[in-house]
Structure 1
Amino acid sequence: MCAVRLRPALTGLLVTALSAALALVAVPALAERVPRPVLSGDFADPAVTVSGNGFVGFSTGSLVPRSFSERPSGAWRPAGSSLVRLPSWSHADGDIWASDIARVGRWWVLYFAAPVRGIGEYGRCIGVARSRSATGGFTAIGGRPLVCPSYVAAPAAEDTVPVVLPGLPRAGVIDPSLVVAGGRPHLLYKTDRIPSSIRLLPLSRSGLHAAGQSVELFRHDGVLENPVLIERPTGWVMLLSQGDFTHCSYRTVWRRSTSILSWAEATTGVLLDQSSGLCGPGGADVTPMPHSKRLRVYFHAWTCRGSTTPCGPGIRKDTVRHRSRAIRPMYAADLDWVDGVPVVRGFL
């Protein structure tokens, strides 16, 4: 968030006094408008589910860090790592990115993007794990990835992604997200780097295995990631993160289509950006509110210097993020609809 600058006084003490008075009024008013995180620690790419008498959140990090709260607004407390161990096919060091959690039948199923060798430092492939409890230990399923390009140094995945995708880089796959369409589970995911492509994979009824080959829904010349699908009476709405995640201009956008498989004529718009007062609001996940048909969106944004103050635009530089102690805490907002378009009704 940029600081407000008052122009220098031009007509002596009267203007100076007026400027000071305006500053005293404007700064608190601006601060009141800036949403505050519901979880103030580092909790990027949140996925939140309702379990028992509380809420369980999952974030990017080693073995998928987890937090629990009895209320969505907090207080949230650490609940240990989600994964018991890395899957056997993940041999490289690094965090697990942007997981998704879902209840499928009598199991809790966790989809995650784990590091692999053969596609660079940031290469990831998608795996699946399950547990009897959202707060229990999740065990990876099988000895191979669920989704992974064939040229990666890992056992052949169930969905290998086409070997030749004209115009797309040799990179990994990230940002898994479960959606139920036509009564069957499907997995959304993104092929990494630029240009971006969003793909949809049919899954078995257990949600643990591929039940066909993935299809490309659309691609984008820049970065579109973290896809989440919401079924609406007139079709589908997809939330995505757009841009460079290290910039305050990173934002949450939406696309709307009448068909889950046809996005060429989709209408588009912005759900959350810098105008909210936040720096880089993205990584959004959508969770139904308990005992309600309403939805809540959880997302991250950058804060600096150990406070809830949003960072400034300089955090796009690694050295500035480190010096400013920049982290991405979790925020929450109620989602509403106006003429079929998603809007934020209010922040928690």
Structure 2
Amino acid sequence: MPHRLHLFLVLSLLLTSSCQQAPREYKQTLLVFGTLVKITLREVDPALAQKYIAQIRKDLNFMHKAWHPWKPGPMGRTNALLATGGWFSANPSVLPVIKRGIELARITNNLFNPAIGKLIGLWGFHQDDAPKGPPPAKKAIDQLLARHPRMSDIEIDGLRMRSHNPAVQLDFGAMAKGLAVDRVIHYLRSQGVRNAIINAGGDLKVIGSHGDRPWRIGIRHPREKGKVLAALDAYDGDSVFTSGDYERYYIYKGRRYHHIIDPRTGYPANQSTSATVILKDAATADAAATALFVAGPSGWQVIARKMHLRYVMLVDKNGRIIMTPAMAKRITLIDTDRKPIIIQP
């Protein structure tokens, strides 16, 4: 009898184990916004996961086309009408983006400045492939800077808008990805998805957790390709965004020219190699990372204080790693002998 009881318990345990399925994880990669968007959904029925991915693909493609700064579409038409200086009816697909851009430009002291589209185009970054040089002539840069294009030049009255400065040309490359990620996460939450991560070229936002642990995130090394500089745990609702000079750039006569233009000088910002921020709102995190990168080691604290940023890490042009105390508690540096400089904003 004891032998039979033992055998029964063993069989029961085996049956119970076989019935316990591993958590379902569905992964899909999309090419949109000029980058790979990796979507991971956990504990979601495969049929539902496919349905969600199909809707996300549709939404991202719509946003990409609507917000594209130099290809035909609503944003391109908006730019053409802004140049006239007259009132026009704003396209509903771009108006919320522009309003958000005006507010984020204000709180970043215009270091995030989507109105400098003409300057970005002058540098050759209004194309799918990175330019090869040479850099634009100083005279051409100075002429655009002298016109001071800013988001505050745009006036909005209900559904109408106009620009008081014909030099304004909108390019939301430093915010659009974050806004798109926010909208995708909102959609997934509305469908009852409880655990997911949206990773858009290394910039990401998470829902829930990865099983019984937080989502583990790696931050790219700005100078050593393929290496991770640091890792951190991301919790429900966290957005982790990094601006770096390693994504779109070209080398001309031994000098690196990248796509993050300092609106104050008209040239690529040259004091940082990457800036990482953690916030709940992905669009704000996207713009904040750009502003911190442009501000550099001498000015990032002003931006961090104004935006109430707790979690900031900046790598300067000399490889120094600067971070806030709150970030230092959450982040683990990997494969580096450098000790971080910890500074309050």
TM-score bracket relative to the smaller structure? under 0.3
Rg larger in structure? 2
Compute the TM-score of the two structures, normalised by the length of structure 2: 0.27
Structure with a larger share of its residues in strand: 1
Structure with a larger share of its residues in helix: 2
Compute the TM-score of the two structures, normalised by the length of structure 1: 0.27
